[in-house]
Every structure is written in C-alpha cells, then in structure tokens.
Amino acid sequence: MNKISIIVPCYNEEEVLIHFYQETHAAVSAIAGTSYEFLFIDDGSRDHTLDILKLLCYQDPNCRYFSFSRNFGKEAAMYAGLKHACGDYCVIMDADLQHPPKLLAPMYHALSQEGYDCCAGKRMGREGDGVMRSFLSRSFYSVIQKLTHMNMNDGDGDFRMMNRTMVDAILQIQEYNRYTKGIFSFVGFETKWLEFENVERAAGKTKWNLKSLFSYAFDGILSFSTAPLKLSGILGGILFLIACLLSFSGFTQQFFFHHSVSSLTLVMIVVIFLSSLQMMMVFILGEYLSKDYLENKKRPIYIIREQN
C-alpha cells in the first residue's frame, strides 16, 4: 500500500484549518489502495493555529504537527515537511483551500499509473488577486525566465505531488536561501501539469504584501541567476564609452573650434548620475555577498520547538 504525505505550511490559519482538513481528508481517503499522513507545519503562528493542530492530531493519528519557534517563512516550512515526510508520495498544499483537494486523485494516478515523477497544479487566472499583484507577478516570471533560463511560469505553484526519488533530490539541496519554485525546476524530473481555476482563499487573509512579494522576487533572481552581476559590467562599459565620447568631443571643440567645453551644471549631472549608478551596483554586489555569507554560516533552515 502506498502512503501519501500531505505537507501543509500554516501561518495564522485558524479560520480555515478544520475546513481544509475535512475536505482534504475526504479526498485522500477516497483514493483506493493508499494510506495517508498529514504533516502540518506551524510556521510561528500567532493565532490559535497550533491549538487546532494539536486537536486534529489528537483526533486523527495520521496527523503530525511541527511547530516552528518563530515565523521562518513558507519555504522553510515546505522543506521541514518534505524532510519529515515518510510517504512514497509527497504533496505540498496551502491551508487556505486554494489548492483543490479533488486534484489529489488524478495526481496520484499520474504518478502511480502513468509513470510521472511529479504531477503539479497549474493555476489558471488570478481571480481574487489584485490587478497590481497579477501584473507584477506576470512581469516577474517573464524576467526570471530570461535571466535564469529555467522553466518557471506564472501559475506554476508549489502544489504538486512528487515521488520519493524527486523528494530525495530536493532534500539534497540544502541551501539556506530557498527558492523552491527554482529548486523544482532545477532538479528536473518528468512532470505532468494539471490546470485548475484560481479561487479566493476559503477564509483568512493572504500573508503576502507588496514588500514581501518584491523581496521574494528579488530572492528568486539572486538565488538562481548571476545576470545582475553582469549588468554592472554592461553599464560600466556603456559609461566608459560615454566618457570616451565626451572627452573626444571636448578635445575637438577645444582644438578645432576654440569653444570652452564644460559647464558646472553638466559636471554636476554627470557626477550625480555616475554616483547613483555606482550605488546601485554596490547594492547588487552586497546582496550577493550577503547571501553567500549566510550560506557559508550553514545555519539551520528551521528550528522546531515542539512536535508530537
């Protein structure tokens, strides 16, 4: 009998957890010839999420919970879930029912009968997300595709069922700054895509705001691309050319037309422009260095405070 591990990162999900468990439990129990386990990762929730998880685990021995000592983020929660899962197949699901449990059966079929290593949900549409967020997300994915040459599209989420081989491959990647969408793409494997309609979360609020989305996008680019470092070279080259042209034109004006060249304003603009560019470049370099610095520290990706 195959075991399916359902990994659920939870951060302040008290309003929706019971509903999620009931629906998902019904869906997974209906898959013939399988057993299941739920791994709930409480990512430092400040509401009653942990109490509800304890209750669920008390009622259903197939449920386990892991509670982080603080909010480490969804990436760390997914890693913890995968690491502790003992199923033959692992599926990552959001707690807010935006990942439809009815897809569990076709996902399992794709892995157990059709020979795929992974079956992933592809979200169609962005109903429930703001216009600004949809636009930024789409732009981000087109940029990251070009910069990393990896297969990451808007709509390809973390909702996916994977076999043990793929899970073990993901667990081999132990970096601290985890960008799981990139890691899925990096490890490869045969993936079947199942489309599903985007729905609003069943209850509660999204944990993302514009600032965290920007930082997530920036992390994704820095984790998988060194293109921003090349940018400084390109801009440096262009600036060098501009400097050459300006010197050449100054030289010709001075010697052939006897015009005086420089004005204070022009110098000021050039100086400000150059220093702002320098600052941007130093910022990008600093970001890379800080990532490397953290990586070299080999900090734990999460710390469990308690578990059942």
Point out which residues bind ligand UDP (CB under 6 A): 9-11, 13, 43, 71, 73-74, 77, 94-96, 98, 201, 206-208
Q: Residue 224 binds which one of Mg ion, ligand UDP, none, with CB within 5 to 8 A depending on kind?
A: none
- What is the CA angle 185-170-307, rounded to 5? 135
How many Å from the N-terminal Cα to the C-terminal Cα in the chain? 24
What is the Cα Rg of the chain in Å?
A: 25
Q: Residue 177 binds which one of Mg ion, ligand UDP, none, with CB within 5 to 8 A depending on kind?
A: none
Stated as kind and residue range, the H or E segment containing 277 is helix 264-297
Span interacting with Mg ion, options 15-23, 95-103, 166-174, 299-307, rule CB under 5 A: 95-103
How many CB atoms are located within 10 Å of the residue 212 CB? 12
Q: What are phi and psi of 176, to 5 degrees?
A: -75, -45
State both tokens at 248: 């050449």
State both tokens at 120: 């992933």
Q: Does 96 bind Mg ion (CB under 5 A)?
A: yes
- The pairing of beta strand 156-163 with beta strand 304-307: unpaired
Span interacting with Mg ion, options 38-46, 96-104, 223-231, 253-261, rule CB under 5 A: 96-104
Residues contacting Mg ion: total by CB under 5 A: 4
State the sign of the Cα–Cα–Cα–Cα dihedral 19, 24, 29, 34: negative
Q: How far is the CB of 31 from ligand UDP (least distance, A)?
A: 22
Residue (9 or 182) nearer to ligand UDP, CB: 9
Q: Does 98 bind Mg ion (CB under 5 A)?
A: yes
Residue (96 or 158) nearer to Mg ion, CB: 96
Q: Residue 207 binds which one of ligand UDP, Mg ion, none, with CB within 5 to 8 A depending on kind?
A: ligand UDP
Q: Which residues of this chain interact with Mg ion, rule CB under 5 A?
A: 94, 96, 98, 201
